[in-house]
Structure 1
Amino acid sequence: MIVNPSAFTILCFGDSNTFGQRSEERGRWPADTRWTGQLQAILGDGYSVIEEGLGGRTTDLDDPERNDRNGRIYFQPCLRSHSPLDMVVIMLGTNDLKTRFDRGPEDIAAALDGYIDNIDQTAWTRTGEVPITLLVSPIHLDATKPGFAESSSEYNADSVERSRNLSASIRGVADKRNVLFLDAATVARPGHDGIHLSRASHASLSRLIADEIRLNSQPSASN
């Protein structure tokens, strides 16, 4: 926990790829391997990174198999509990692509538009302004990975194709709402299971996001 009271505070809200689920086996990468932990290390203690990842989290869909994965229900109280915030980073959409939801990229992007409403209406900075929003389009599903067939019974070929079209739809929402946008798939890939970030991709994603944060922030000095 960063105890610098003036630190530029960043909430990272996402699914298993923010939680740090391993792609090669069960379990979670340690904090210094997860992209959020590496982001904190890159930025230093003039920044405070808050990790809010949950496996299976959707944008705003109720999952009949797990009743606590609708991200939108938790998002607003999450904003309240962590404010004041300077930036909110959201990387969601992969779980919406599961076959039981049959959801397309435009609907996923529209759900993320609602998250921007929550930030505008609920979150605040120390000076009473609205935090910066950064939408991050998630990595592509990859059916060519050796563990995909075994690990991804919830996804099919349509899911893979739709994952490749998410970036354009999410960028459209970001442009419309005048918020920041990054495409994780430009620097990051899934590992063995074709779903979760490879170990190396945690590092490359952290650098991508760190660069964007630095461009849009003023770090504070450590006390």
Structure 2
Amino acid sequence: MIEEGLPSRTTVHADPIEGAHKNGLAALPVCLESHMPLDLVIVMLGTNDLKTRFSVNASDIADSIEQVVRAVQTSEAGPEGQAPKVLVVTPPPIAEVDWFADMFRGGAEKAAQLAPLVAAMCERRQIPHLDAGAIVEASAVDGIHLDAEAHRILGLTLASLCEVAFAAIN
């Protein structure tokens, strides 16, 4: 397992404040090629797209996640030059609290709409989807990040899903 998390990473947006390098789609080819061959790519993006500065709705975010999925599916970063499998995880809804409240103003409402839109996209693309909001919540401390227990629960759930997926392949 290779973790490629980056604080403030978006789906497709260069962040005018935190940096152009935060664009997940632009960074994806380097990540895929530097770690290939990859059996599975887990995509969990969308929270940072909720920032007020990007002025996008939940549908736009789901479409942006689909762009990331397409990039993985058209890559040759999997075994024998094929595309890796993809699993999309919709982040849990956020709460507008603490010092993130202004940065994410209006984001909680959009976040609550995101999972069904992403699930529909995944169904269209015939890939698995996990709604993290069904099993964990964002921390009450900042309303955005997961606390240690939520990380543990999500990690165990993802490990179990990967185990099932790889058992089916072999």
Q: Same fold (TM over 0.5)?
A: yes
Which structure 1 residue ranges, 4+ long, deviate > 6 Å from structure 2? none
TM-score, with structure 1 as normaliser: 0.71
The equivalent position to 1:119 in structure 2, one of 72, 79, 85, is 72
Q: Counterpart in 2 of 1:169?
A: 117
Higher RCO structure (Cα 8 Å, ≥6 apart): 1
Q: Does residue 140 of structure 2 align to residue 189 of structure 1?
A: no
Q: How much has 1:129 moved relative to structure 2?
A: 3.0
The structure with the largest alpha-carbon Rg is: 1
1:30-68 deviations in Å (ceiling 9; x for gaps): xxxxxxxxxxxxxxxxxxx10000111110011110222
Aligned equivalents of 1:140 and 1:78: distance in 2? 27
Q: Counterpart of 1:111 in structure 2: which amino acid?
A: S
Specify the SS of the correspondent of 2:99.
Answer: helix
Q: Counterpart in 2 of 1:55?
A: 7
Identity %: 32
1:117-175 deviations in Å (ceiling 9; x for gaps): 211222333334321100000011123xxxx232332011x210111111011111101
Q: Which has the higher helix share?
A: 2
**Are 2:62 and 2:117, in contact at CA under 8 Å, matched by a contact in 1?**
yes
* Unpaired runs of at least 5, structure 2: none
Q: Counterpart in 2 of 1:149?
A: 98
TM-score, with structure 2 as normaliser: 0.91
Q: Does residue 18 of structure 2 align to residue 66 of structure 1?
A: yes
> How much is the aligned-residue C-alpha RMSD, in angstroms?
1.5
